[in-house]
Amino acid sequence: MTSPAENTIAILLVEPNPGDARLFTESFADASIASDVHTVTNGEAALEFVHQRGEYADTLRPDLILLDFQLPGTSGEAVLSELKSEPSLRSIPVIVLTSSDSEEDIARSYDLHANAYLQKPVDPEEFVELVRSFEEFWLTFVRLPGDGDGA
């Protein structure tokens, strides 16, 4: 784990909609998940964050990325493509989280090696359920790079 506290997961949320970003952040807090959620609103900032450049030079590498495909500027597709083409970044799990249910977007996400594709909930209560499902699956059962190996 790259997070400062033991058993705390660093999550990068790439979300252009402030309301959705707030719902996710609050849902993680409500679910009592030991997480450090960092939010950026566009693809350029996401890439700066993961490469630890500019204002993000002192940030930790995220353990998990929640990526909206519909981003201003650099698209979520371009961000995913770069993440999965960089040997130093490709092991970070990326969950595409978007409002689109387009079969083309779903196929393209997996073609670019997304770890999962989830459609954003509409109802705020469903956000909490989605975050709890993250806790149950991604944070409880899945072994992430760096878990327990002293890295």
For tokens 């964050």, the residue is 49
Q: Are 9 and 3 in contact (CB under 8 A)?
A: yes
pTM reported for the whole predicted model: 0.86
- 87-96: average pLDDT: 94
pLDDT in tens, 39-80: 999 999 999 999 999 999 999 999 999 999 899 999 999 999
| 136/40: higher pLDDT | 40
CA–CA distance, 84 with 129 (Å, rounded to integer): 28
E strand map for the chain: 9-14, 35-40, 64-67, 94-98, 116-119
- 2-17: average pLDDT: 76
- 122-139: average pLDDT: 78
Q: Are 84 and 71 in contact (CB under 8 A)?
A: no
| 130/108: higher pLDDT | 108
Q: pLDDT band at 145, cuts 50/70/90?
A: low
